[in-house]
Amino acid sequence: MIHLEGINKTFRVARRKSGFGRALQALFSREYELIHALQDVSFSISQGEMVGYIGPNGAGKSTTIKIMCGILRPDSGVCNIDGRTPWQDRIDHVRNIGVVFGQRSQLWWDVPVGDSFDLIRDIYKIDARRYKRNLEELVALLDLEEILKTPTRTLSLGQRMRCELVASLLHSPKILFLDEPTIGLDAVSKIAVRQFIKDLNSRRGTTVILTTHDMQDIEALTERILLIGKGRILMDGSLEELKKRSSWRKTITFEYLGPQPALDAGMTLREARPGRIVVYLEPEVCSAAEAIAHISRQVEVKDVSVAGISAEEMVAGLYREYDI
Amino acid sequence: MRLYLKFVAMHLQSQMQYKISFFLLALGQFLVSFTALLGVSFMFTRFNAVDGFRFPEVLLCLATVLMAFSLAELFGRGFDHFPRIIRSGELDRMLVRPRPLVPQVLASLIEFSRLGRLVQAILVFCYAIPASGIHWTWDKALTLCLMVLCGSIVFFSLFVIYAAFSFFTIEGLEFMNVFTDGGREFGRYPYSIYGREVLRFFTYVIPLALFQYYPLLYLLGRRTSILYMLMPLLALPFAIPAYAFWRYGLSKYNSTGS
In B113-238, alpha helices (H): 115-131, 138-165, 181-186, 196-200, 209-219, 226-234
Q: Domain coordinates of chain A in residue numbers?
A: 47-244, 249-308
Residue B61 included in any domain: yes
Residue B24 included in any domain: no
Would you say residue B257 has pLDDT above 60?
no
Residue B105 included in any domain: yes
What percent helix, strand, coil does chain B show, rounded to 5?
80, 0, 20
Contacts of A103 in chain B (CB under 8 A): 258
Would you say residue B165 has pLDDT above 80?
yes
Domain A47-244 architecture: 3-Layer(aba) Sandwich (3.40)
Would you say residue B258 has pLDDT above 60?
no
Mutate to test the interface with A, among B95, B250, B256 (most CBs of A within 10 A): B95
0.90 surpassed by pTM: no
ipTM more than 0.90? Answer: no
Residue B20 included in any domain: no
Q: Are residues B258 and A72, on separate chains, in Cβ contact within 8 Å?
A: no
β-strand pairing of A224-229 with A232-238: antiparallel
Tally the C-alpha atoms within 13 A of residue A167's C-alpha that lie toward its C-beta. 31
Task: Tell me, yes or no, if A123 comes closer than 8 A to chain B by beta carbon.
Answer: yes
Structure confidence at residue A291 (pLDDT): 86
Report the alpha-carbon distance of residue A48 to residue A62 in Å, rounded: 21
Would you say residue B245 has pLDDT above 90?
yes
Count of beta carbons in the 10 Å neighbourhood of residue A28: 6
- How many domains does chain B contain in total? 1
Q: Are A116 and A167 in contact (CB under 8 A)?
A: yes
- Averaged over successive runs of 10 residues, the pLDDT of chain A (324 residues) comes to 91 70 65 85 93 87 91 92 92 93 86 92 93 92 89 90 92 92 86 90 92 85 88 86 67 87 83 86 80 88 81 75 74
Task: Tell me, yes or no, if A119 comes closer than 8 A to chain B by beta carbon.
Answer: yes
Q: Which residue of B has its CA nearest to A116?
A: B10
CA distance A102 to chain B (A): 9
Residue B158 included in any domain: yes
Cα–chain center distance at B29:
14
Average pLDDT on B158-162 reads 93
Q: Are B143 and B151 in contact (CB under 8 A)?
A: no
Task: Tell me, yes or no, if A99 comes closer than 8 A to chain B by beta carbon.
Answer: yes
Chain B residues in contact with chain A using a Cβ-Cβ cutoff of 8 Å: 2-3, 6-7, 10, 13-15, 17, 88-89, 92-93, 95-100, 251, 253-255, 257-258
C-alpha closest to that of A106 among A140, A137, A69, A72: A69
* Domain boundaries, position B215: 29-251
Q: Are residues B95 and A61, on separate chains, in Cβ contact within 8 Å?
A: no
Report the alpha-carbon distance of residue B117 to residue B96 in Å, rounded: 35
Mutate to test the interface with B, among A9, A54, A64, A108 (most CBs of B within 10 A): A108
Would you say residue B128 has pLDDT above 80?
yes
Task: Tell me, yes or no, if A18 comes closer than 8 A to chain B by beta carbon.
Answer: no
Report the alpha-carbon distance of residue A230 to residue A61 in Å, rounded: 10
